[in-house]
């Protein structure tokens, strides 16, 4: 485990998905019958896998159709969005964005993790996330959380969001949850470093 407390990306992504699940519970119509749910799971490929089916799936590449349809590609943003984000890719309507200094590989890993968490949510929940402006931001290994536009007002502020004495946001966190969730690049591509310890 890296110094600084583990995989912040999974935690931030989990918060984003938990918010989506809460939206589903609060706003969706009464749940469909168990039969309809089982049918939906079977369509999504999540029905119990028999040994023969698993072997066939592995022989076919071991990945779902969503990965084979078209490889994900990071696209440049020109001019940079919010004068900061210069690359992005979209996952189920949720943009994954980063500054130019972040590797494309980190965005691709974030997109894969986000896809795994969102792909079974109802379309209505995905539409609500998009309508709220949900996004996931990757913080470069040489950047701080306060370099992101949504947290720029906290750069150098003692106590940050938590009021922890003289500790700034950049000393305290390598990403945040919420509608605009974020994590450090090092958590995605498994760099053996944590910028807070340099």
User: What is the predicted pLDDT for the residue at 14?
Assistant: 59
pLDDT interval class at 104 (50, 70, 90): very high
Average pLDDT over residues 70-80: 89
Q: How far apart (Å, rounded) are the C-alpha atoms in residues 182 and 9?
A: 7
Higher-confidence position of 179 and 10: 179
Higher-confidence position of 7 and 171: 171
Is 194 within 8 Å of 2 (Cβ atoms)? yes
Angular region, 133: left φ>0, alpha ψ -120 to 50, beta rest: left
Strands laid side by side in the 85-91 sheet: 75-81, 85-91, 94-98, 135-139, 180-184
Average pLDDT over residues 87-93: 94
Report whether pLDDT(138) > 90.
yes
* Domain assignments of the chain as residue spans, ordered by start: 15-45+73-197
Strands 85-91 and 94-98: antiparallel
User: What is the predicted pLDDT for the residue at 144?
Assistant: 94
User: What is the predicted pLDDT for the residue at 110?
Assistant: 93
> 62-76, 108-122, 141-155, 168-182 — which is least confidently predicted?
62-76
Q: How far apart (Å, rounded) are the C-alpha atoms in residues 105 and 153?
A: 29
Report whether pLDDT(137) > 90.
yes
Report whether pLDDT(57) > 90.
no
User: What is the predicted pLDDT for the residue at 4?
Assistant: 43
User: What is the predicted pLDDT for the residue at 179?
Assistant: 94
SS3 180: strand
In the DSSP assignment, the letter for residue 60 is T
pLDDT interval class at 21 (50, 70, 90): low
């Amino acid at each position: 485990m890296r110094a600084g407390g583990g995989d912040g990306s999974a935690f931030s992504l989990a918060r984003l998905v938990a918010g989506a699940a809460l939206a589903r519970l609060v706003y969706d119509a009464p749940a469909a019958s168990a039969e309809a749910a089982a049918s939906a799971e079977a369509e999504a490929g999540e029905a119990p896998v028999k040994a023969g089916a698993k072997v066939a799936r592995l022989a076919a590449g071991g990945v779902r159709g969503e990965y084979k349809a078209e490889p994900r590609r990071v696209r440049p943003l020109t001019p940079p969005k919010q004068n900061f984000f210069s690359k992005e890719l979209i996952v189920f309507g949720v943009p994954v964005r980063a500054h130019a200094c972040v590797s494309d590989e980190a965005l691709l890993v974030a997109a894969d993790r986000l896809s795994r968490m969102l792909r079974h949510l109802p379309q209505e929940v995905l539409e609500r996330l998009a309508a709220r402006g949900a996004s996931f931001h990757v913080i470069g290994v040489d950047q701080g959380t306060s370099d992101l536009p949504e947290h720029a007002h906290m750069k150098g502020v003692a106590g940050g969001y938590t009021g922890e004495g003289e500790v700034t946001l950049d000393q305290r966190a390598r990403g945040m949850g919420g509608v605009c969730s974020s994590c450090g690049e090092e958590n995605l591509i498994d760099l053996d470093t944590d910028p807070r310890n340099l």
